[in-house]
């Protein structure tokens, strides 16, 4: 099973309605659910920046996908009354791609770079002077006729997001004034998020137990939580006249292959392969990927984070290994 087919993957999919996703996205810091410590830090930084009439400090957000990094970038721009320019590391293949965006930005604008750890080295060199001195230097012509031209930029805020902070160079990481890791959400915060989403999606007031069930099976990730809510809503609309209660949610999640622990078919295949073929480990992720027919990077970035957080898997020097809880889950 590929990542794109996973109902619980935090990666955006074509089945997500963009207008609906934007309707559910909070636009102010007060409306943002969760990450209380980060919100407090951002509120102080935003208030100080507004008082000084300066752009906010550059911000680096890292953590698993689907926890709200893009949403926070738009919130920062909205709180500052400026525009958010959105791009990604792989999209900036050469220096001119970045220069074109930077030169169009106005004072205080936000440049959001998703997956910033995938920036090419040549592009990263342009970012250093832009972040520190709000200028870019580029070379015209070549050889003995080469000359360096300096272009002054309007002060801006760079917000970088990454799922793999360890791949960032030290030089780039040190230039961010605020760095924060986003954590998985506890169920009570996901229930709050679902309550707001049901209002915006005009879903009849559902059974509170139904929302608690959705939150418990959402792997602590808001993006997954909202996706499961849409699937449960669709199931309720077709099968039960739009009524959303616990039994309807259970039936919808069973149809999607999501069990009581929030695991889907790929998660269970991972645990079964590790517990059966390799007798619980330890084993390397490359061997697991080869046995399952999956890309090891997909297993590392998509499957393992939640299994580690749930205490079902351990990473050791020798490789991946089932914990006692993981072995108990596989027990007949």
Which tokens go with 126? 């342009």
| 135 classed as catalytic | no
Is 70 in the active site?
yes
Residue 263, φ and ψ in degrees, nearest 5: -85, 145
**CB neighbourhood size of 290 (10 A):** 11
Q: Which token pair is 322?
A: 């089932």
Q: Which residues of 151-188 are buried (b: 16+ CB within 10 A; e: fewer)?
A: eebeebbbbbbbbebeebeeebbebbebebebebbebe
Annotated catalytic residue, options 9, 157, 162, 163: 163
Catalytic pick among 6, 9, 109, 114? 114
Choice among 70, 82, 101, 298 that is catalytic:
70
Rounded Cα distance, 169 and 121, in Å: 10
Separation of CA 173 from chain center: 18
**Catalytic residue (choose from 217, 219, 223, 230):** 223
Q: What is the spatial distance between Cα 28 and Cα 79, in angstroms, rounded to a whole number?
A: 7
Do the strands 147-152 and 157-162 form a parallel or antiparallel pair, or are they unpaired? unpaired
Where would I find the H helices in 55-120? 69-80, 95-104
Is 291 an active-site residue?
no
Known catalytic membership, residue 173:
no
Of 69, 217, 227, 233, the active-site residue reads: 69
Cα-to-chain-centroid distance, residue 121: 23
Catalytic residue status for 323: no
Active-site positions read 69-70, 114, 163, 223
């Amino acid at each position: 099973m590929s990542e794109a087919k996973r109902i619980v993957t935090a990666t955006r999919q074509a089945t997500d309605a963009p207008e609906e996703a934007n309707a559910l996205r909070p636009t102010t810091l007060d409306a943002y659910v969760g990450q209380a410590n980060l919100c407090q830090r951002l509120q102080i930084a935003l208030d100080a920046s507004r008082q000084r009439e300066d752009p906010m400090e550059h911000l680096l957000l890292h953590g698993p996908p689907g926890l709200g990094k893009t949403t926070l970038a738009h919130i920062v721009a909205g709180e500052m009354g400026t525009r958010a320019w959105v791009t990604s590391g792989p999209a900036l293949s050469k220096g001119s791609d970045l220069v074109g965006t930077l030169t169009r930005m106005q004072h205080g604008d936000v440049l959001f770079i998703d997956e910033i750890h995938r920036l090419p080295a040549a592009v990263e060199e342009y970012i250093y002077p832009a972040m520190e001195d709000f200028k870019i230097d580029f070379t015209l012509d070549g050889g003995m006729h080469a000359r360096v031209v300096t272009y002054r930029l309007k002060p801006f805020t760079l917000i970088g997001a990454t799922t793999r902070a360890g791949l960032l160079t030290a030089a780039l990481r040190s230039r961010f004034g605020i760095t924060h890791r986003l954590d998985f959400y506890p169920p009570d915060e996901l229930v709050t998020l679902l309550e707001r989403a049901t209002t915006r999606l005009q879903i009849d007031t559902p059974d509170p137990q139904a929302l608690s069930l959705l939150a418990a099976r959402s792997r602590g990730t808001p993006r997954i939580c909202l996706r499961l809510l849409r699937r449960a809503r669709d199931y309720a609309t077709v099968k039960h006249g739009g009524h959303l209660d616990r039994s309807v949610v259970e039936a919808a999640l069973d149809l999607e292959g999501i069990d009581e622990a929030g695991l889907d078919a790929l998660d269970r295949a991972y645990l079964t392969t590790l517990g059966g073929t390799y007798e619980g480990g330890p084993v390397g992720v490359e061997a697991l990927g080869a046995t399952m027919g999956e890309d090891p990077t997909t297993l590392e970035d998509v499957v393992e984070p939640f299994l580690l957080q749930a205490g079902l898997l351990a990473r050791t020097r020798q490789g991946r290994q089932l914990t006692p809880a993981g072995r108990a889950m596989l027990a007949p």
